[in-house]
Structure 1
């Protein structure tokens, strides 16, 4: 595989495939394999009697390094390596699926099919959606679309353009571990510490880039850029996560819709920090404009990352 194919052509085609087709649902997805591997790791660690915190940290580094090495090995297969690299790059991006599923969920909310809407939104979030009304569903959708824009697309694309498919899947491995183990519950508080902290570190730069790109993508769209510039950094720092609040707070102020407040996770109510103007309820038009903004922000990220990070990776 040539350097130029790896650095420029594969990311470009991967973004195009993701935009056109979304997740490759009918093909073997690496995340499912990683998830199955992590389930086996958890059972093995718990059965072994190892210190959970130490074992969790070791698993993060060994698993991510192993995945990176495997991807590099597969991409060096003669003739097939380029296609494998392209598929893995495409499968690691999730903007197409996020935008499609978000629009589908919003359509169900606005057609007053709330049972189906709750199910659709639950597929995008880890919180309990069973008792949410239309207003709460719109807010939940706005929160998850803005947060997952970074987690599901901008950050993976950042590592794809900078480090290739191997780097992308090392990041995705850590992100998957965080989504499975990174909860402050009795079960995962120790085992998941390494995954949560490493994911925080790896997503730190992309999350802030996502916020800046959202501000740029909002130019000329009639959104409240002035308030967003003044308020989003202060609001972002309220969040427990060092990264999630950046795209969320930016979206909240640009669209002038409130985020945060009491939220049910695993049967327990958690009072999340307030982002955006208090008391501003999300309506259908605001939610639709946010989804469109996130889609455009993803496109802008591709236009910036592929040439700029590609050139950086060639130089360094």
Structure 2
């Protein structure tokens, strides 16, 4: 009973509840925006160092992640205010509530036939061009970004929050933000952003695979097509160029029986992404709504399992130390 009570009233649970209730209000400051401003200031100075672009990029990654860890750790150790900082940084590091709210807004726009508004809103969620997307492509793109960001925006930061508290969580978030800003295989960032992309790949490796299995578990509880998904999603997951993105995407594609992948335009360059899931299956608005419930359920399942694992490990180590 004490384990259950500790799990229900822990910092990650509190952060999760606040995230679902508040999302990311624009009137509140957010550390990711601060990190973005810092990176905009840092980039030209790092590029000007007398070393290779890969080396200056790697130095920038190590410095930024270290500074974020030290700053958050220091603030959470402040007397009296430390607990408030701890709750704030834990909540601010999770983005499941905001992700689902934004995705639902796009679905509502599509239901109302407001395609131009939907393209603009979807463009805020993805790095690919949405300017000329038809409704079917927008639905598919929304399914892809919500499933992928379940890991990047929630499971991975939650994993590091449970593992090492807000400081470790924000070291990871710093790397993730650097990857989102610099981790592109364009001429401008191929070398400078190399370290950010590789660091993000390493840090998200385990969370991405956990996300895939959490989706399968949640799909089983929701009585979705989980047996076929369990057998087939891993083979699809490794088709992606990213070592991590395919795991949650493929799991969702098979569970919801919707095809992912195909043509997309990134920074003016057309790409043909590998197909995931059963072939020729369109994403309907009803499938998207059900997928949002699957994603939320997967997040709750992950929260409970991570917490119970930590409590069990802490209890075992305590007994072994006695």
In the other structure, the counterpart of 1:243 is 244
Given that 2:234 and 2:250 are in contact with CA atoms closer than 8 Å, whether structure 1 keeps it comes out as yes
Are 1:288 and 2:297 counterparts? no
For 2:308 and 2:45, locate their aligned partners in 1 and report how far apart those are by CA, in whole Å.
Answer: 43
Aligned residue for 2:154, secondary structure, equals helix
Are 1:169 and 2:193 counterparts? no
Aligned residue for 1:219, secondary structure, equals helix
For 1:222 and 1:228, locate their aligned partners in 2 and report how far apart those are by CA, in whole Å.
Answer: 12
CA, structure 1 residues 193+297, in 2 after alignment: closer, same or farther (shift >3 Å)?
A: same
CA, structure 1 residues 310+71, in 2 after alignment: closer, same or farther (shift >3 Å)?
A: farther
TM-score normalized by the length of structure 1 = 0.95
| Unmatched runs of 5 consecutive residues or more in structure 2 | none
Give per-residue Cα distances to partners, 1:194-242, cap 9 Å, x unaligned.
0100100100111111111111111243421122111100000000111
Aligned residue for 1:48, secondary structure, equals coil
For 1:179 and 1:168, locate their aligned partners in 2 and report how far apart those are by CA, in whole Å.
Answer: 16
CA, structure 1 residues 89+313, in 2 after alignment: closer, same or farther (shift >3 Å)?
A: farther
| Unmatched runs of 5 consecutive residues or more in structure 1 | none
Cα offset for 1:120?
A: 1.1
In the other structure, the counterpart of 1:28 is 29
In the other structure, the counterpart of 1:64 is 65
For 1:263 and 1:281, locate their aligned partners in 2 and report how far apart those are by CA, in whole Å.
Answer: 16
Aligned residue for 2:45, secondary structure, equals helix
Given that 2:183 and 2:189 are in contact with CA atoms closer than 8 Å, whether structure 1 keeps it comes out as yes
Are 1:261 and 2:230 counterparts? no
CA, structure 1 residues 46+231, in 2 after alignment: closer, same or farther (shift >3 Å)?
A: same
**May I ask how many residue pairs the two structures share in their alignment?**
313
Give per-residue Cα distances to partners, 1:150-171, cap 9 Å, x unaligned.
0000000000001000000000
List 4+ stretches of structure 1 deviating above 4 A: none
Please tell me the root mean square deviation across aligned C-alpha atoms, in Å.
1.8
Greater relative contact order: 1 or 2 (C-alpha under 8 angstroms, separation 6 or more)? 1
More moved, 277-286 vs 170-179 = 277-286
Aligned residue for 2:271, secondary structure, equals strand
For 2:203 and 2:167, locate their aligned partners in 1 and report how far apart those are by CA, in whole Å.
Answer: 15
For 1:168 and 1:123, locate their aligned partners in 2 and report how far apart those are by CA, in whole Å.
Answer: 24
